[in-house]
Amino acid sequence: MREPIGIPFLDFLEAAEAKGGFETDDVLAALLPLMHQVLAAHKAGVVAPLDGLQHLTLTAQGHLMFAPDKAGLPQKNAAKVEALQSPVSQAVDVVAESRRTADLDTASLTVSDLGVAAADGAIRKPVFLPGYTTWEHAIGHHDELTDIFSLGMLLASLACGLNFTNAAELEIFTVNRTNLFGVNRRLNPVSSRSSSR
């Protein structure tokens, strides 16, 4: 394993944004080693420590990694996952929910994505959570698919230059996730397709 240099992920993201953001090559250079490490963990029957950013380190080469001893056994809460993912109706497919708040005094309209929840709130449906964690982590479920989703969120964060510890920046992503060019016009079409799922 490469020697970590201790630069926190958010400092890495901020430094890149100060220089105009990441290019596709930078995003891939940072994440591919982590993706390979997660794949190796899955082959060994464990999951990666991707519940938040505390276990990610940056190597001198600019690669994100985690200490192998931080990987752990999968946690299963399949009944809760199934209950939260079960559709209420088979006749209607709700793909997004939002709240519009109009302030007549200031003639303003605010749109909030209800697919973004507070990190400390009760989970009643699949939602995006700030802090690079997932709703699955919040309900005590962490399997290989949870890791893959977490990697996708890291990819989106780097590719779009958004800090997902900030709920407002996470909402920018969720509102635009079907068209990430609305967030970053320089985004590589392949990265955009991978990050928006």
**What is the domain partition of the chain in residue ranges?**
9-68+119-195
Q: What is the pLDDT of residues 13-59, one digit of tens each?
A: 888 888 877 888 888 999 999 999 999 999 999 999 999 999 998 88
* pLDDT, the chain, mean: 80
Taking a C-beta distance cutoff of 8 angstroms, is the pair 167, 98 a contact? Answer: no
- In the chain, the largest separation of any two C-alpha atoms, in whole Å, equals 60
Q: Which CATH class is domain 9-68+119-195?
A: mainly alpha
Q: Which two tokens stand for residue 12?
A: 């890495």
- With pLDDT > 90 as the criterion, what percentage of the chain qualifies? 40
User: Is pTM, for the whole model, over 0.85?
Assistant: no
Taking a C-beta distance cutoff of 8 angstroms, is the pair 166, 129 a contact? Answer: no
- Region at 140 (left for phi over 0; alpha for psi -120 to 50; beta for the rest): left
DSSP string, 106-174: TTEEEEEETTB--TTS--SS--EETTTEEHHHHTT-B-HHHHHHHHHHHHHHHHHT--TTSHHHHHHHH
Q: What is the pLDDT of residues 61-82, one digit of tens each?
A: 889 999 999 999 999 988 888 8
Taking a C-beta distance cutoff of 8 angstroms, is the pair 75, 139 a contact? Answer: no
